[in-house]
Amino acid sequence: MNLNEPSRKIPKNYRNITGKIPSKKSNRMISFESKLERDFLYLFEFENFVIKILEQPITIEYFIDNKRYTYTPDFYIETPPKYNNIIIEVKYYNELKKIFSTEKQKYKAMISYLKNKNVDFKFFTDRCPYIKSGEYKFNVNFLLNYEDLSIENYEIIYNLFIPQITIQQLLEEYSSDKFKQLSMISTIWAMIRKKILIVNMYEKLTLETQLLQLRPYDEKLYKSHLEGLVFEGYLL
């Protein structure tokens, strides 16, 4: 499936939160119809596993007792080569429980439509651990502001790193000069954002956050991953 434009526009909704967020992965604004959809969009934008996002990706038709119906799922996400792309329906779990028995025909129709297309169909609900954690969501929204990574600073951090060192301790190892420390901190956030530095994302990020693991970084390989050119994915 090669999808580039939404199948339908999302209307303004006075019962739910609607709006748009900027997506660097898709190079445009992505629309959402609920707070839950918005929260998942930020997660999709954050995850290295997601290469591209499209809302309201396709509309299929199906029939019940010779009556025609249509169904438009919420999102389509493109993933690295050798992984199946995913069509996603976002629902609050309790709402999904209430409507599933009456709505299941459209979900079955979607599964049938996707057969042999190397695309999965999945439900994403508010039971997702990332969504349930306020700290995780805070960290994601904070880290999305840090894209640019200084290779020079990365190499310094690589040489200073030891497991479980805190960000503050690493900065002090680097320099006692507060201005030099400030020049380094944005690289640390960018490395956490790209999953080069591994931390506990279920705790709010501070200068006392422990850096648990450092993974090697290859800038050309990372950019190739974002373009969908790396067969095994990168920093997933």
Where do the structural domains in the chain lie, given as residue ranges?
19-132, 146-226
d(CA 31, CA 33): 7
Residues 232 and 55 sit within 8 Å (Cβ to Cβ): no
Show the tokens assigned to 7.
């199948």
Write out the H or E segment, with its range, that includes residue 46.
helix 35-46
Burial of 102 (0-12, 13-18, 19+ CB in 10 A): exposed
Residues 55 and 63 sit within 8 Å (Cβ to Cβ): no
Burial 168-203 (b: 16+ CB within 10 A, else e): ebbbeebeeeeeebeebbbbbbbbbbbbbbebebee
Q: What is the pLDDT of residues 27-70, one digit of tens each?
A: 999 999 999 999 999 999 999 889 999 999 999 999 999 999 99
What is the sign, positive or negative, of the torsion defined by CA atoms of 125, 83, 144, 57?
Answer: negative
Taking the C-alpha atoms of 142, 143, 145 and 151 in order, what is their torsion angle to the nearest 10 degrees?
Answer: 150
Per-residue pLDDT averaged across 84-105, rounded? Answer: 95
* 7-21, 76-90, 106-120, 172-186: range with lowest mean pLDDT: 7-21
Q: What is the pLDDT of residues 191-220, one digit of tens each?
A: 999 999 999 999 999 999 999 999 988 888
Helix (H, G, I), strand (E, B) or coil at 20: strand
Residues 121 and 106 sit within 8 Å (Cβ to Cβ): no
Q: Which CATH class is domain 19-132?
A: alpha beta
Amino acid at 163: P
Q: Which of 234, 217, 146, 215 is nearest to 184 (CA)?
A: 146
**Structure confidence at residue 83 as a pLDDT band (50, 70, 90):** confident
pTM over 0.75: yes
